[in-house]
Amino acid sequence: SKHDSKLHIALAKKLLEHKATFEKMKIILHDKLSGHAYDEVYKNIRAVLVPSVAPEALPYVVSEACLRGRVIIASRIGGIPEQVKGLEGVRLVESGNVDELSEMIEEVLSMDWEEVVELGMRNRRGILRKFDNIRIINKLIRLFEKVMD
């Protein structure tokens, strides 16, 4: 890549024995992150990659990245497309398509920091609106009222 960026991979316990090799490729491996270490990594990243190859109903990492105001590059698989529908700071790619994933990473890396922050904040506002419990409960009540009429 033409960018001076590093890729952080969390929950990479099985890869840690190859840490030196990954560091040469500008890939930083982390075992399970929590607390302050987790917050420090999030402070220094532009985007969260979720290159899923198997479908998941509602991957927590996607919602969490939105709540933390980050741009997301994720696979178009399982429940992810519905989870992020309408969020401006999300780039979906075909699962397993390395070329498309690379293009999206390059796109995000070429953005100004201000643009990345703005898109991340839009993700945050969007996910909070989408999963607003009061709104969802009111919608459910209206549905039940229609059923009872």
Q: What are the tens digits of pLDDT across the range 46-96?
A: 899 898 889 999 999 899 999 999 999 999 999 999 999 999 999 999 999
Backbone φ, ψ for residue 147 (5° rounding): -65, -40
Instruction: Examine the pLDDT at 45 and tell me if it is beyond 70.
Output: yes
DSSP structure class, residue 31 = S
Distance CA 143, CA 135 (A): 12
User: Can you give the pLDDT at residue 90?
Assistant: 98
Instruction: Examine the pLDDT at 119 and tell me if it is beyond 90.
Output: yes
Across all residues in the chain, what is the average pLDDT?
A: 88
Instruction: Examine the pLDDT at 31 and tell me if it is beyond 80.
Output: no
- SS3 of 7, please? strand
Q: How far apart are the two ends of the chain, measured CA to CA in Å?
A: 61
Q: Give the count of alpha carbons within 13 A of 6, CB side only.
A: 14
Q: For the chain, what's the residue count? A: 149
Distance CA 60, CA 45 (A): 18
User: Can you give the pLDDT at residue 19?
Assistant: 79
Distance CA 95, CA 97 (A): 6
Distance CA 28, CA 128 (A): 30
User: Can you give the pLDDT at residue 27?
Assistant: 76
Percent of the chain beyond pLDDT 70?
95
